[in-house]
Each structure stands twice: as structure tokens, then as C-alpha cells.
Amino acid sequence: MQRTRRTLLQAVLSVAVVLAWTGVPFHTTSAQAEGLANPGDLVNAILGGGTDEPQEFAAVLKPVKAGTWTQADALRVGEAYEQTRQWVNAIKLYEAAMEYAEKQKMPVDGGLEYALRRTRVQFGIDRRYADSSFENDMLAMGRAEALDLLEDVMTRVQLEYVDVVSSTKLVSHGTESLYMALGNDRFLSKHTSANGNQTAAAKRVRERLIRDFWNRPVRSRLEARMLVTEVCDIAQREMGLSSAPVVLEYLFGACNALDDYSNFLTPDRYNDLFGSIQGEFVGIGIEMEGEKGKGMHLVNVLLDSPAEDGGLRPGDYIVEIDGRDCRQLSTDEAAQLLRGVRGSRVHLRFESPEGKQAAATLTRRPVHVKSVTRALILDSENGIGYIRMTGFQNSTADEMDVALRDLEAQGMRSLIWDLRGNPGGLLDTAASVIDRFIDNGVLVSTEGRSADQDQTFRANNFNTRNLPLVLLVDENSASASEIVAGAINDHKRGQIVGRKTYGKWSVQSIVHLPGGTGLKLTTAKFYSPGHHNYAGKGLAPHIDVPLPENVHRTLFRGRTSDEISIDPDVARALEILDRRYTKN
């Protein structure tokens, strides 16, 4: 196996096409939302099968976050979401209930913890079976090939993962994943016929898994292979189920035993990840989130992309793809329809937030993802510059240098650096970029299980900018963005404005595996110059700017200095820098 020598710092956020179903469940007016805070009424509304606006789901979360619902209430409503296959809503609800309990130092209901794990597994199954590379390539593997791949993954995890994980734990999570898959409609519809005999057979296999394999001790990877082989034989005998789907549930299930940032990559997911790192992919150039009943909400339309050329703008909704209505599709399902080779075409119907519909035929082509998307002077009198950075990829340091030189030529004397919504990227790129602003000392360090994961990045004191600096961050500023925030905070290099960061302070390595697949594996934790790690907590800004309620997430896309300056976070940063010049 060849290991790809790149270390990745990226949260589970948008890249080129957001692959997360974030539809919300029922249609109400704002006034009705207040009444539906009653769990019983809400369950009835969810099971009624309607749709709603995204701000109404925020209203659903309010009583959970405020503690006016019990954990049992949250579980009841979450199970209604599960019944209607609205996995992400259920996950968010369970997480909010557990977060409130932990903040109040209350015991967390065991049923709630299991419901969260169960829902994440079911969501993962649905996502896999919406991935054409999984269905076309991975499910076609023979038993030996699939078992070899499982063994490769277990080997990498046990040698390189940041924490020690036993074979028993990896295999037990695989057994759990298969057990849940055998109750998942999408899995069963793919691999079995819809009749009573098959349903009874699936039930027998599930019972056998609990009786003979649940948490069964496994002392080695060889024993793991033997156990999975035994399960394959049982599934084949009882259900006529081929080996690949059984082994693959063990493979993906093993990754469920790891942290949220480690996962197995299908061929399509592997290619998407490297497109993000390299800053280029073939497509139409959008970031989207599915909203059930409304379509694919465009969080972002990349600059100079086919989508922008075709008239699509952030905030629009795609409602039809090549003649197929996509308002009831998940984001993964819509993403599959949008995939295609260079030069191929896709016909879209889309709708503006005001309800105006339009159509466009777009030609897929390579799209360069710029990480520095805005660089301009906001205040020419005081020389206040603004740079927005949306990722940390191969080209980011060069893009930053170009932006800085251009703004300096226009008279920049201070800078607002906007990392809001920036999910991260490459470790070495983050260190290289922050080196432009800190002249000495440690920038970031990493620590892992193996010696090659222990690194310290130091400032080079070359061409360092000493201009006054304000950094903008928010709850979606993660990983590499947090390296920047940590360095600025510990070196007292500038003011940090906005909201607490995401809280992902770990490093992932990307391992290439057979069949064009890969493994994204957490191999180290990173630390700020003062050796602080804010995993799960996030770094608080120096100046907190509250996020307005009922915000519909769309990438901020102001094109003029006036449009950007009225943003509350930017306005606060301008106030800080203006005050500095007034004092001087």
C-alpha cells in the first residue's frame, strides 16, 4: 500500500459539493412553530410528512437547548425523525439534548446515547448506497478482495490511529453496522427481494448476530477475518446475501469505532478530497445543502464557474436536474445526478429566494477553487484592507502573497482577515500562511502515537508583516483556521472577533488503498504555541459578536466595500481598527 504523505486539517463541513442531508421536517408558520414546541404535537407534525423552512428547525431545537424538554421528550421527537428517515435532524436533536445535559452536569440517558449512535450508523448506510462508486465498484468485489481491504484498514488503524483501538472494538462496531443494515430499507431493497421470506431471513440473521457475535472477543486481525467469514457464510445460507455487502458493513463499521474525522473513502469521496486539496475539480462549481420540499439550497457558487456563468447565485434553489424533480432528494442523491465527465452537460431549473424560476444548461469543466476569494480596501482613508480565505490548499500561500502585495500597493496599513466558515485544509499550508504575520517562535505543534507525527512549526522571520490585524472567526472556522486563531491568540498578534471556533484540533493523514479507495485517519493532535488544545471546546474570540437568530446559512458574497462593511463582524473589526487610528 502507498501512503499519501499529506496531513489534512479539515472539519466535516462544505468542500465542493456539500454531502450532508440537512432538510427540515414540517411546514409551519412562525406562529405555529411556537405551538409545536409541545413534543406530542411536533411528533404528529413530523409523521405527517410535510416540509418546512430552515429557521423552523431552529425553533424545534430551542426548547432542547433551553432545557424545557426532558431527555425523554428529545428521544421521542428524534425517533419520529428516524421513522421518516430524517437522520440529520435526529442527530442534531440528540446532540443538542446531550450537550445541554453535559453543560448542566446531568447524567445522559443511555437510550439517548444509543439513539445518537444508531442514527449516525443509519445515516452512513443511506449515504453509501447513494454513492455510485460504492455501488458500482465496491459492491462488485469478491469475498477475498473485500476481506483483504478490511484487513488493510484494520492494520492501518492499529498502527497509526492516534489512540489504541482493539480488534474486538473494531469488529464489534462492524457487527453492529451489519445488524442495523439488515433493518435498513435501502440496504434490503438493494440486496433482497421484497417478500415475507426475506424479511424473516433478515430477522434470523440479526438474532444470530446478537446471540453469537455481539461483542465477541477478537484477539487478532486473523481472528477478525475468520469471524467475518463465518458471518458471510450465515448471511449467504439464510438470505442468499453475497459477501461484499457483509464485509463492507464490517469495514465501515470499524471506522465507526474511531473519531468523527476518521472515515473510509469510497473512490468518489477519495477523488473529491484530493480535488479539495489541489483546489481543482470537474463539475459546475457549487456548494449545496438539500432542504426537503424546496430543493438544493446553494450555500455558495464558486467564482468563474459554469454555475456562475449560467446565472446561479448563492441563496438560489436547484429544483430540477436533467428533468428530474430534486426537491425531495437528499444532497447525496442530487450530487450523484450532478456528477459527470468533463465536457458533458447538465440542465438545471432553479429558483431564487423570491420564487422566480429560471433554467440553464451547464457544461462540466475543471473549476479552480480559489482559497482567497475577496481582497479589497474597505477604508481607503485609514488603509484598512480585507481578505476572505475559504480554505487552506496547495495554492493558498501564493494566493495570500498576491493579495497582500496588491492591497499594500493600494495603501493598506491594517488588515481584517476573514476565516469565518473556513473548514481548514493542509497543515503545512496553515503554518506557512500564519508565518506571514508572526516573526518568531512556535506557530503550531503536533503530537501523535508515532515519532513521525511529532512536528513543530516555527516562524522563519522572513518578509513578515507587522501591520495591525483583526481575525474574524465563527462556529464553522475549524482545524487549520484554528491553528491561525491559536497562534494569533498566544502571540498576542491581533484581535479575534466573531464567535467561538468549531473545536477540531486534530490532524488527519490520507492513506491510499486498493481500488481507488482511501482512509482518512486521525494520527495526531495539534497544539497552539502555548501548548493548548481546544478539541471539542473551540477557541473563544476576544470580542464576541452574537449570531442573529434564524440565520439561513449562505456564503457571504458582498462584492463592494460597502456591502462587506455592513456585516456585523466586519463592522466590529472596522470599529476596532478605526479607533486605533483615531487614538494615533
Residue 7 has pLDDT above 90, yes or no: no
CATH for 11-128, among 1.25.40, 3.40.50, 3.30.60, 3.30.310? 1.25.40
Report the SS3 class of residue 545: coil
Task: Work out the pLDDT band at 462, boundaries 50, 70, 90.
Answer: confident
| Single-letter residue type at 42 | L
C-alpha cell read off for 276: 479539495
Q: Where in the chain is the domain with CATH 1.25.40?
A: 11-128
Can you give the pLDDT at residue 217?
97
User: For the chain, how far is it from start to end, CA to CA, in angstroms?
Assistant: 60
Can you give the pLDDT at residue 381?
93
User: In Å, how far from its chain's centre is CA 493?
Assistant: 30
What number is the average pLDDT over the span 131-154? 96
Q: Where in the chain is the domain with CATH 2.30.42.10?
A: 282-365
pLDDT per residue over 435-461, tens digit each? 999 999 999 999 999 888 999 999 998
Highest mean pLDDT pick, 43-47, 85-89, 183-187: 183-187
Looking at per-residue pLDDT, the higher value among 489 and 553 belongs to: 489
CA dist list (Å): 513 to 9, 145, 149, 266: 20, 12, 8, 10
Q: Where in the chain is the domain with CATH 3.90.226.10?
A: 372-582
Residue 370: which of 404, 339, 393 has the closest Cα? 393
Q: Which residues on neighbouring strands pair with residue 361, listed in sequence order? A: 347
Task: Work out the pLDDT band at 468, boundaries 50, 70, 90.
Answer: very high
Task: Work out the pLDDT band at 50, boundaries 50, 70, 90.
Answer: low
pLDDT per residue over 76-109, tens digit each? 999 999 998 889 889 999 999 998 998 899 999 8
Q: How many residues does the chain have?
A: 584
Can you give the pLDDT at residue 9?
55
What number is the average pLDDT over the span 61-69? 90
Locus of grid cell 476518521? 262
CA distance 583 to 233: 78
pTM (global) more than 0.95: no
B/e letters for 88-126, b = 16+ CB within 10 Å, e = fewer, are bbbbbbbbbbbebbeeeeeebbeebeebbebbbbbbbbb
Q: What is the DSSP string of 361-398?
A: EEE-EEEE--SEEEEEEEETTTTEEEEEE--B-TTHHH
Residue 185: which of 255, 87, 110, 113 has the closest Cα? 87
pLDDT per residue over 501-531, tens digit each? 999 999 999 999 999 999 999 999 999 999 9
Residue 404 has pLDDT above 60, yes or no: yes
C-alpha cell read off for 408: 499594500
Looking at per-residue pLDDT, the higher value among 14 and 46 belongs to: 46
CATH for 282-365, among 1.20.272.10, 2.60.40.10, 2.30.42.10, 3.90.100.10? 2.30.42.10
CATH for 372-582, among 3.40.50.720, 1.10.3720.10, 3.40.50.300, 3.90.226.10? 3.90.226.10
Can you give the pLDDT at residue 268?
92
223 burial via Cβ count (<10 Å: 0-12, 13-18, 19+): middle
Q: Are strands 455-458 and 280-283 parallel, antiparallel or unpaired?
A: unpaired
Residue 46 has pLDDT above 80, yes or no: yes
Residue 281 has pLDDT above 90, yes or no: no
187, 181 contact by CB (below 8 A): yes
Task: Work out the pLDDT band at 581, boundaries 50, 70, 90.
Answer: low
C-alpha cell read off for 33: 412553530
Residue 169 has pLDDT above 50, yes or no: yes
Which residues are catalytically annotated? 479, 490, 504
578, 379 contact by CB (below 8 A): yes
